[in-house]
Chain A
Amino acid sequence: MPMSGHHDRHHDHDHSELSETQLRVRALETVLTEKGYVDPAALDLLIETYEKKVGPRNGAHVVAKAWVDPSYRARLFKDATPAIAELGYACRQGEHIVALENTPNQHNMVVCTLCSCYPWPVLGLPPVWYKSAPYRSRVVADPRAVLAEFGVTLPAETKIRVWDSTSEIRYLVIPMRPAGTEGWSEDQLAELVTRDSMIGTGLPNRPENLK
């Protein structure tokens, strides 16, 4: 799918382009391996890390802990990088993390208009929409319209703050804890935390919607 467009419009065209790209990538991997620059086993490990180990469940753990543990919450908003590392999450693209607190008065949303900066250790690799032109172009100018496309409507008076990730600082939104979750455990709460709620394009699931 092109950076600018959508799934359905050029499906056949994409298909042939993909196989051409596929051949080119395979050819380059062979060249680089034959030259001794890369070890395919290291490539496999890199892929496995981001397919299987690092993903938004890490961020959900951070959020749920911030909901139940006031001293952790305080550490997280003071300096998120070590607070997140306490839970074992640290890696590339998360060297300097800042946690953003959603409140009834302010809703935070994160974008990288220039490329695709995203907090890998807590959210994994970014989804296609986050990297694509429709989101990157519009969320800084009309965030409410973008929220509507995610099915989110906020009160008209809620301030919306958009954070454009132009440096190596990575932003993680800490959504508000849903009502009706008093007494829930950290693990139960983590189930309510969606990836999009930590980018700011969604809200946590409500307890009554949990299957």
Chain B
Amino acid sequence: MNGAHDLGGMHGFGPVEPEPDEPVFHAAWEKRAFALTLAMATPGGWNIDMSRFARENRPPAEYLAMSYYQVWFAALETMLKQRALVADDEIAAGHSLHAPKKVARTLSPSDVAQVLYRGGPTERETNAKAAFKGGDKVRAKTINPLTHTRLPRYVRGHVGTIEHVIGCHVFPDSNALGAGEDPQWLYTVRFDGRELWGADTDPTVSVSVDAWEPYLERI
């Protein structure tokens, strides 16, 4: 979706302000919102692409006015409610008012280290041949899906070079919808800065994105 999260190339946000000796979390609630989000993925059964879509799928003004962990927390509430794991009246009351939904698993303390260590690898076996090879010129397609995609607006329609064939990976556009992993070949595609931003751009700059095969067309 063309949401406020797709920030590459926007103007007006001011300078980057690094914070010296920044703490990992800035408030106690951030820690809990972070941990709840990680832990609830086990009983909730959602994947990372569903989480990302839940975070970005909100009105642009709201997204930009929220802090990072406020976005995470709002997305957590959204996903819990979509799956009827909690209800609005329970969130308002701060207590469970209805019988819990049956869930396959929960995250126990003894599983935490292993679940984190294992992570969620996204590379998959495939019999399909990669359509592109290193050095090929490709155009990032002009697409404007209403649903989740990982092709940023600033590269759409622009010509780049395949620099590296990464492997076959879970396709987020499908996975975010619960429509299956639909693994696709993934490439590092490099764009000259001037191709993306115009002739006045610093000629020493190039930018790459990781792009799945359905995002690209041969030129």
Known: A38-B39, A41-B109, A141-B8. A32 touches B86 (CB 8 A): yes
Give the Cβ gap from B41 to chain A, nearest Cβ, in Å: 10
- Chain B residues whose CB sits within 8 angstroms of the CB of A141 once the complex forms: 8-9, 154, 193, 196-197, 201
Which residues of chain B are near A162, meaning CB under 8 Å?
205-208
Do the beta carbons of A91 and B117 come within 8 Å of each other?
yes
Given contacts A42-B109, A140-B154, contact A36 B120 (CB under 8 A): no
Q: Name the residue on B nearest A113 (C-beta).
A: B8
- How many residue pairs link A and B with beta carbons under 8 A? The number is 285
Q: Given A113-B154, A131-B68, A196-B18, answer yes or no on A43-B119 (Cβ-Cβ < 8 Å).
A: no
Q: Quick check: A46 and B35 within 8 Å, CB to CB?
A: yes
User: Chain A contact residues (Cβ within 8 angstroms of B): what range?
Assistant: 35 or more
User: Which of A70-78, A144-152, A172-180, A183-191 makes up part of the contact surface?
Assistant: A144-152
The interface residues of chain A lying within 8 Å CB-to-CB of B205 are: 143-144, 159-162
Determine if A21 is an interface residue (Cβ-Cβ < 8 Å): yes
Hey, which chain B residues are within 8 Å of A149, CB to CB? 15-18
The digit string for A1-24, where 1 denotes a CB below 8 A from any CB of B, is 111111100000010001001101
In contact, A46 and B38 (Cβ under 8 angstroms): yes
Interface flag for B7 (CB, 8 Å): yes
Whether B36 sits at the interface, judged by CB under 8 Å, is yes
Within 152-206 of A, Cβ neighbours of B (below 8 Å) are at 156-169, 196, 201
Q: Sorted from nearest, which 5 A-B pairs have the closest CB atoms?
A: A27-B94, A167-B210, A113-B8, A43-B35, A34-B96
- Other A-B contacts than A25-B32, A129-B16, 4 sampled, CB-CB below 8 A, are A39-B39, A45-B113, A96-B123, A169-B166
Which chain B residues border A115 with CB–CB below 8 Å? Answer: 5, 52, 55-56
Compute how far the CA of A36 lies from the CA of B106 in the bound complex, rounded to whole angstroms: 8
The residue on B at minimum CB distance from A107 is B204
Show 24 A/B contacts (Cβ-Cβ < 8 Å), sorted by A. A24-B91, A31-B91, A38-B40, A38-B107, A39-B39, A39-B106, A41-B109, A43-B32, A44-B109, A47-B25, A95-B122, A96-B123, A113-B154, A128-B19, A128-B26, A129-B16, A140-B154, A143-B202, A149-B17, A157-B204, A162-B207, A165-B210, A167-B172, A169-B210
